C-alpha cells in the first residue's frame, strides 16, 4: 500500500508556489523516479508506518509450515561441500543451534548482515577468509563489496506559522532533479522538505532551537559514485562486522550534494511559510556537507546480482559457487534506485518468490 501524503496543508502549497516561481515542474501525481517535484508517498495506515512485518509476516504467522524463532542470530550457513544444508544460529543464551533444511536456505539479513553471514560461512574473497582462518566454501570476491547508500545534508528554517501535524508521516514534499537540469536522464539528487510538527530525532536541532519548531529541508545524493564495503572484524559471529561506507570519496558526489543543497535553499527561502534561515549561515557549503551529511539508511549492493566478477548472486538470487542458497534482500540491488529503498526491496522479494515458484 503506498497512499499519497494526506495533505501537506500550507507547507505543501507554499512549496508548490516556490517551485513554480523558479520554473520547476510541480505535479500532483506521484513522482515515479523521473525528474519532477510533488507530494511524497508513504506506507501509512491509521497514522502508523507499515512495514514488511505487519503486512507480510503477521498474516502468515498462523501457517503451520512457519516457525519464527526470536532472539536468534544466524551465525553461519552449514554446507556439505558447496551445497547448503542448514543454518547455525546463536540462541538467546549464546548457544549454537543447528537447523537443517531439506530444500534451500534463504538469507535475508539485510545489506550489512547478509554479507557478514556469508563471510562467516566461508563464502567470500579467499585471501580475506584465510586471514580469519575461515575454511573456504566458495571464492566469491564481491561479498561485502559495492556498499552504496543514500546520504543527505539538511538545512533548517524558522517557520512563519505553526507547522502541521502528520503522525507517522516521514516527508511532506520532494523533488527529483539533476545538476544539469536534463529531465530526460535519471535524476541525481532528491530534495525533501519536512515541514511538520513531529521532528526527526536523528538530526540534532540547531542551537537555541532545541524546544522550538523548525522546518527542515534536505538534499539527498541518489546515485553515489563512491562505494564502500562490509568486511569481517573477526571470525567470532558475535563481533560486529566492519562497515566502511566510504561516503563522498569521489569529488562528483560532493558536487551533486552541493548543487542539490543550493537549489534546496533557493526554493525553501522563497516559501511563504518560512520566516528565516537558521542553518547554514554564511558557511563553506562543502565543509558544511562534509561535517553534517548523514545516512538515509538505504544501504544496498553488498551481495549484488549480476554477471561480472564482483556479482554475488545470479538472476535467480542463487549465491555463486554454491547450491541451495539464495540471498533475498536489499543487498542484491546492484545500485541504488532514484528514491527510497523499502518498496524496491519488497519488489525484489516478490520477484524472487515468483522465480522460486517456477514462474
- Closest to ligand FAD by CB, 42 or 264: 42
Q: In angstroms, what is the minimal distance from the CB of 6 to ligand FAD? A: 16
Q: In angstroms, what is the minimal distance from the CB of 105 to ligand FAD? A: 12
**Residues near ligand FAD (CB under 6 A):** 73-74, 108-111, 113, 117, 170, 297-298, 329-330, 340-343, 345
Q: In angstroms, what is the minimal distance from the CB of 177 to ligand FAD? A: 19
- Closest to ligand FAD by CB, 17 or 342: 342
- Closest to ligand FAD by CB, 108 or 270: 108
Nearest Cα to Cα of residue 119 among 228, 241, 238, 227: 241
Cα-flanking dihedrals φ and ψ of residue 37, to 5°?
-125, 145
Q: In angstroms, what is the minimal distance from the CB of 97 to ligand FAD? A: 12
Q: What is the spatial distance between Cα 214 and Cα 274, in angstroms, rounded to a whole number?
A: 10
In total, the chain counts a number of residues equal to: 359
Q: In angstroms, what is the minimal distance from the CB of 343 to ligand FAD? A: 6
C-alpha triplet 318, 112, 86: angle, nearest 5°: 45
Q: In angstroms, what is the minimal distance from the CB of 109 to ligand FAD? A: 3
Which residues have C-beta within 8 Å of that of residue 63, sequence separation ≥ 6? none
- Closest to ligand FAD by CB, 154 or 274: 154
End-to-end CA distance of the chain: 24
* DSSP for 124-152, written as a single string: E-HHHHHHTTPPPSEE-TTTT--BB--EE
- Closest to ligand FAD by CB, 97 or 343: 343
- Closest to ligand FAD by CB, 148 or 340: 340
Instruction: Using the structure block, give the residue that is written with the C-alpha cell 525533501.
Output: 192
- 356: alpha, beta or left, given left = phi > 0 and alpha = psi -120 to 50? alpha
Amino acid at each position: 500500500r503506498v497512499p499519497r501524503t494526506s495533505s501537506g496543508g500550507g507547507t505543501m502549497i507554499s512549496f508548490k508556489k516556490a517551485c513554480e516561481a523558479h520554473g520547476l515542474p510541480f505535479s500532483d501525481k506521484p513522482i515515479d523516479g523521473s525528474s519532477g517535484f510533488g507530494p511524497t508517498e508513504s506506507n501509512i495506515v491509521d497514522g502508523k508506518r507499515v512495514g514488511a512485518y505487519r503486512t507480510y509476516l503477521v498474516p502468515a504467522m498462523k501457517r503451520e509450515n512457519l516457525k519464527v524463532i526470536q532472539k536468534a542470530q544466524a551465525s553461519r550457513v552449514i554446507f556439505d561441500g558447496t551445497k547448503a544444508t542448514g543454518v547455525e544460529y546463536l540462541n538467546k543464551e549464546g548457544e549454537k543451534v543447528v537447523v537443517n533444511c531439506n530444500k534451500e536456505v534463504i538469507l535475508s539479513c539485510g545489506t550489512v548482515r547478509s554479507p557478514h553471514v556469508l563471510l562467516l560461512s566461508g563464502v567470500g574473497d579467499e585471501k580475506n577468509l584465510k586471514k580469519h582462518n575461515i575454511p573456504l566454501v566458495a571464492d566469491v570476491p564481491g561479498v561485502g563489496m559495492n556498499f552504496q547508500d543514500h546520504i543527505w545534508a539538511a538545512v533548517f528554517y524558522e517557520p512563519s506559522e505553526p507547522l502541521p501535524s502528520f503522525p507517522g508521516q516521514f516527508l511532506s514534499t520532494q523533488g527529483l532533479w539533476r545538476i544539469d537540469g536534463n529531465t530526460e536522464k535519471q535524476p541525481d539528487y532528491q530534495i525533501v522538505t519536512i515541514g511538520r510538527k513531529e521532528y526527526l530525532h536523528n538530526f540534532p536541532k540547531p542551537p537555541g532551537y532545541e524546544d522550538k519548531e523548525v522546518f527542515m529541508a534536505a538534499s539527498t545524493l541518489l546515485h553515489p559514485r563512491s562505494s564502500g564495503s562490509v568486511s569481517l572484524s573477526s571470525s567470532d559471529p558475535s563481533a560486529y562486522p566492519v562497515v566502511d561506507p566510504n561516503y563522498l570519496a569521489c569529488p562528483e558526489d560532493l558536487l551533486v550534494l552541493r548543487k542539490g543543497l543550493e537549489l534546496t535553499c533557493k526554493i525553501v527561502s522563497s516559501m511563504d511559510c518560512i520566516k528565516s534561515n537558521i542553518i547554514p549561515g554564511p558557511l563553506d557549503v562543502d565543509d558544511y556537507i562534509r561535517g553534517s551529511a548523514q545516512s538515509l539508511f538505504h544501504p544496498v549492493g553488498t551481495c549484488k546480482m549480476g554477471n561480472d566478477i564482483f556479482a554475488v548472486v545470479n538472476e535467480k538470487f542463487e549465491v555463486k559457487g554454491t547450491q541451495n542458497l539464495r540471498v533475498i534482500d536489499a543487498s542484491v540491488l546492484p545500485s541504488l534506485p532514484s528514491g527510497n529503498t523499502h518498496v524496491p526491496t519488497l519488489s525484489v522479494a516478490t520477484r524472487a518468490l515468483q522465480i522460486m515458484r517456477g514462474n
